[in-house]
């Protein structure tokens, strides 16, 4: 029975951790990707034009975003699911600049070279691109760090709710096996005394 209560205590602890993670992720997810496209641009006027990744994040929270921020960009092959490129991008919003509720932050940077090399359709394309499937690309972007006056720096935890659900499920299965084993032992004990 000691093992049962130990497993139940582990589940209770995981449930608490899951609640904390869910709360933090909800705060960070309020800095939400609302638009994603690829345009054509050039860094210097004499550079050849190339594909640029355009992201728009909207502050959907009730608080202004100030200070440090970071978001992750991941690009996958649509056909294979294989990660082509990943990068973090961030900085610090200075004191006189904040992204107020419902305001947006625009990201406009050259598309990662690995993603450009992954397709040969760039020269013949019509920009802006919002459907990435013909280029065999899936683009994901999400905030991983934000700062608010009330809560300070908020960092996305490495584990998500699915991780905790899987661990809790595994422990519940172990508890079920332990209970079945104990029930079998109890029956054996009863039959031994006859």
What residues make up the domain containing 23? 2-192
Contact 92, 177 (CB under 8 A): no
Q: Please give the pLDDT value at position 55.
A: 97
Mind listing the pLDDT tens digit for each residue in 4-39? 788 889 989 999 999 999 999 999 999 999 999 999
Q: What is the pLDDT of residue 192?
A: 58
Work out how many domains the chain is built from and give that number: 1
* pLDDT computed for residue 137 by the predictor: 95
Structure tokens at 137: 């690309």
How large a percentage of the chain has pLDDT more than 90?
A: 64
Cβ-defined contacts of 45-53 (< 8 Å, 24+): 50/110, 50/111, 50/116, 50/122, 51/110, 51/111, 51/115, 51/116, 51/122, 51/127, 51/129, 52/108, 52/109, 52/110, 52/111, 53/107, 53/108, 53/109, 53/110, 53/111, 53/112, 53/139
pLDDT tens digits, one per residue of 97-107: 889 999 999 99
How far apart are alpha carbons 17 and 34 in whole angstroms?
29
Q: What is the pLDDT of residues 114-127, one digit of tens each?
A: 999 998 888 889 99
pLDDT at 45: 86
| pTM, entire model | 0.79
Q: How far is CA 122 from CA 118, 125, 129, in A?
A: 10, 5, 10
Q: How large is the average pLDDT for residues 161-186?
A: 85
pLDDT band at residue 191 using 50, 70 and 90 as cut-offs: low
pLDDT tens by residue, 46-95: 888 899 999 999 999 999 999 999 999 999 999 999 999 999 999 888 77
pLDDT value at 183 more than 80: no
């Amino acid at each position: 029975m000691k093992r049962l209560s130990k497993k139940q205590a582990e589940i209770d602890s995981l449930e608490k951790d899951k609640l904390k993670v869910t709360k933090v992720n909800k705060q960070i997810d309020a800095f939400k990707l609302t638009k994603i496209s690829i345009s054509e641009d050039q860094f210097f006027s004499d550079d050849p034009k190339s594909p640029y990744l355009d992201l728009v994040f909207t502050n959907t929270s009730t608080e202004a975003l100030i200070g440090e921020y970071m978001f992750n960009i991941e690009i996958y092959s649509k056909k294979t699911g294989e990660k082509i490129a990943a990068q973090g991008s961030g900085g610090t919003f200075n004191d006189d600049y904040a992204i107020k509720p419902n305001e947006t932050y625009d990201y406009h940077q050259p598309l990662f070279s690995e993603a450009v090399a992954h397709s040969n359709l760039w020269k013949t394309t019509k920009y802006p691109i919002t459907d990435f499937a013909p280029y065999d690309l899936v683009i994901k972007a999400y905030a991983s760090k934000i700062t608010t006056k009330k809560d300070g720096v908020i960092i996305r935890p490495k584990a998500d709710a699915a991780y905790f659900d899987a661990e809790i499920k595994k422990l519940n299965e172990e508890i079920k096996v332990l209970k079945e084993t104990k029930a079998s032992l109890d029956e054996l004990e009863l039959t031994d005394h006859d």
